[in-house]
Structures are given as structure tokens and as C-alpha cells.
Amino acid sequence: MDAQFWNMKWQKNQIGFHLPAVNPLLVKYFPVLELKEGARVFVPLCGKTLDIHWLLQRGMNVVGVELSQIAVEQLFSELALTPQITDVAPNMQCFQAKNLTIFVGDIFALSRVLVGSVQVIYDRAALVAFPPAMRAAYAEHLMDISGTAEQLLVTLEYDQSCIAGPPFSITQQDIQRYYGAEYAISCLENTSVTGGLKGGVPATENVWFLKPE
């Protein structure tokens, strides 16, 4: 992952990947997770997603990690929260307010000690952001820092030869290769992306539930 690429996107406000509403797939499948109020949900590469607003409104304790400080500052501003900011590791800060903790820096520099105990990973934008060469390392690191917490995972599948990622195409075989040794994998939904991707390339959005075995 190219940190400069993503930081530049935020600096230029080129954030078409930021959804203007809560992801309806999160709303639809959140009950599958059977979380109690106060459960800790980890959101990797979170940006300033409105999904965090929605999770907080439902009493969740949200932990995230994001490369762009601009994105994190905007997230707290839009939530009308004033964060306490601390340096927690080389080149990593922690922005914290009630029920919300966001680490600013490279996810690969994030440790299990910093993340703490989490019940669920909600990955809508992380796995699809990594090029193939980095995905296995990301998946392994994610399992390590989360204690192999169960996952609600949203991916895209399309003909990668038609357009360059990100977001990158992820197949069922990819999911099995990255996570099959540790999780029972269920596909909850396959739905066509309305209008396609980037100029109309046909694509399918897939929702996965990964439960530790």
C-alpha cells in the first residue's frame, strides 16, 4: 500500500470511495454479529466513514486505524467530538474520545497490545485496498492484532483486467486462501453494483461472515 497515494487523495479531497451514507450492507447484516451494547468493533482503514457514526449510535465501542490524519480530524469534527491525542508508537498517534479510538498511522505498525480486546472486525474498505502482493500479510496481521476476532467483510469482484484498483477484485478463492485456515467462511450476499465500477465495469459486491473455528 502506497501511503503517499492515500494521503494525497485526502489532501486533494479526492475521496469518491467515501460513501455519503451508512453502508446498507452493515445495517442489513449487523444483527448476524449478535453484539451486546459496549462490544468493541475494529474498523481497519476506516477513513471518516459514516458507518462509525452508526455503530456508535448503537452503543458500540469503535476502534479504527487510518493513514490520513485529515480523515481522522474530519471524523471527530463531524461527530462533534474533541479527541485526546497521544503518541503511542513511532509515527503513530491515537485520537480518543468517548467510545471511539482511532490510531493514525500504518496498520502494520499497530500491535495487539494497542488494539486491545475486540469482538468483531468490520472490514468494508481495507482488504479491497491492498494489492495482491500485500493481501496475505494484511490478513495475517489483522488476525494477529485482533486475536482472530470474527469478521463482517465486504469485498468486490470484477474483471481486474478492465480497470486498475483500488478497489481491487477479491474472489471467493482469495478469501479462502487468506482466512480459510482460521475461519468458517459464509457468503451472506452477492449483489450487483448499480452502474458498475469506474465507468460501468460490471461488478459484484459480496458480504462474508468469518467465524473463528
Does 124 show up as a binding residue in the annotation?
A: yes
Close Cβ partners of 186 (under 8 Å, ≥ 6 residues apart): 208, 209, 210, 211
Angle between helix axes 69-78 and 3-11 (nearest 10 degrees) is 40
Query: For the chain, how big is the Rg over CA atoms in Å?
Result: 16
Whole-angstrom CA distances from 158 to 174, 178, 192, 195, 207 are: 13, 19, 10, 13, 15
For CA atoms 98, 55, 180, 125, the dihedral sign is negative
At 117, list the grid cell.
480486546
Does 6 show up as a binding residue in the annotation?
A: no
Angle between helix axes 172-179 and 132-146 (nearest 10 degrees) is 50
**Binding site: what residues are annotated?**
10, 45, 66, 124
**Binding site for S-adenosyl-L-methionine: what residues are annotated?**
10, 45, 66, 124
